[in-house]
Amino acid sequence: MQGSKYPLATTTWDEAEINAMQEVIQSRNFTMGARVLSYESEFADLFGTPYAVMSNSGSSANLLALGAIRYSSFGEDATRNEVIVPAVSWSTTYYPITQMGYTLKFVDIDLGTLNASASSVEAAITSKTAGIVAVNLLGNPSELDRLRELADDKRIFLIEDNCESLGAKLNGKMSGTFGDIGTFSSFFSHHISTMEGGMSATSNLELSQVMTSLRAHGWTRELPDENHVLNKSGNQFDDLFRFVLPGYNLRPLEIEGAIGSEQLKKVPGIIQGRRKNHKTFASLMGQFPLLKTQVEIGESSWFGFSLILTETLSGRRSELVEILTKYGIASRPIVAGNFTRNPVMRHLKHTPLPALPNADQVHENGLFIGNHHYEMIEEFNLLESALREFHN
């Protein structure tokens, strides 16, 4: 994929990130410390959220988010155990839900936005519903304002899996900040990269402290003396090694925090470049109406560009992939397609599956190609040539 003329992802690093790594190497302080703390604070400031907890991946950010719900006052009502999720997302959107003892309840997506609509989520809510995990797919915000209202009205939690949508906005508010917790990824292929890395953002102090404890073994070492997990005794020898929650080791490295601080400085330019590329892409795709593209909600940060073959072209995806590959254009399925069609479902507790025709359409006739932070004139010329050949 990296050797293609039009890859799925490219680096956003330059000398600033290299120098930041060298500073960490020279300091010889490699495990989570001051640089991670600085990055968390800078991240929270940039995205308008009071608290941000860094972890070693976006998947871990989701695990911390669900763990925080389970081991906080949000998880006290044991009669509510179902969590509503869209049928199209990445695997580790779903796994933490069942790992925390909840039951998945899948709903179909909207074929335009590729997100679950607020109306479909509302129709799925029952007295058993504990919460909603909204997924902002490929840079596109869900109907987050309506989902927030639903969650408040029903007194259930709302988590945003915002790992593909850093920098997107809805009504001027950053995606990832509508939910009780919003999760972000800084894996190489995402908007910003810290090599590996994730962030869980929240405006709730209790949730932030539970995530901080769960991130590092379930102790309270990084928390203040008085906190929402367990107040410290005042005996430092005991407090440093008192385990109070069934946690993990999901800590990031100092080198990742240092890189993250440099990457945040570039976020406005990165998002601006991706949005500019979408205008060119949308104009190009107007010539190919038999290929359906994603409908924007709010201000997408355009993680990538989806293509769905309409009924006239149905069943020809493999042919399209072959032609794209010939032109050096990397492509892949839209996230994981209809996730319920994966064999791993036998290990995941879920309610009876409804018909999911739109997710099936994405699964069978959808793909996406990359977007980048720089102008993509040559890449779009290749795409136009490939699509013309496909249509002939």
What tokens does 227 get?
């906190």
> Tens digit of pLDDT for each residue in 71-125?
999 998 989 999 999 999 999 999 999 999 999 999 999 999 999 999 999 999 9
What's residue 3's pLDDT? Answer: 54
Q: Are 58 and 186 in contact (CB under 8 A)?
A: yes
Q: Outline where 194-342 has alpha helix (H).
A: 205-215, 236-239, 254-264, 267-285, 317-326
Q: Is 270 in a helix, a strand, or coil? A: helix
pTM: 0.97
Half-sphere exposure of 52 (CA within 13 A, CB side): 26
Residues of the chain with CATH 3.90.1150.10: 267-391
Return the CATH fold of 15-264.
Answer: Aspartate Aminotransferase; domain 2 (3.40.640)
Residues with a known catalytic role? 190
Question: Which residue type, as a one-letter code, is found at position 172?
Answer: G
Cα angle for residues 98, 103, 104 (degrees, 5° grid): 90
What's residue 1's pLDDT? Answer: 45
What's residue 131's pLDDT? Answer: 98
As to burial, measured by CB atoms within 10 angstroms (0-12 exposed, 13-18 middle, 19+ buried), residue 42 is middle
Q: Outline where 327-376 has alpha helix (H).
A: 357-365
Distance of CA 76 to the CA centre of its chain: 26
Dihedral, CA atoms, 236, 60, 354, 70, nearest 10 degrees?
Answer: 0
State the Cα–Cα distance between residues 132 and 307, nearest whole angstrom: 27
Closest CA to 307 of 325, 320, 323: 320
CATH pick for 267-391 out of 3.40.50.2300, 3.90.1150.10, 3.40.50.720, 2.60.120.260: 3.90.1150.10
Q: Are 136 and 165 in contact (CB under 8 A)?
A: yes
State the Cα–Cα distance between residues 68 and 220, nearest whole angstrom: 14
What tokens does 383 get?
């795409």
What's residue 4's pLDDT? Answer: 85
Low-confidence ranges of the chain (pLDDT < 50): 1-2
What's residue 2's pLDDT? Answer: 46
> Tens digit of pLDDT for each residue in 150-166?
999 999 999 999 999 99
Contacts of 321 (CB under 8 A, 6+ apart): 331, 367
Question: Which residue type, as a one-letter code, is found at position 82?
Answer: E
State the Cα–Cα distance between residues 138 and 384, nearest whole angstrom: 21
Query: Which residues of 61-139 form beta strands (DSSP E)?
Result: 82-86, 103-107, 129-135
Contacts of 58 (CB under 8 A, 6+ apart): 92, 163, 183, 184, 185, 186, 187, 190, 197, 198
As to burial, measured by CB atoms within 10 angstroms (0-12 exposed, 13-18 middle, 19+ buried), residue 139 is buried
Residues of the chain with CATH 3.40.640.10: 15-264
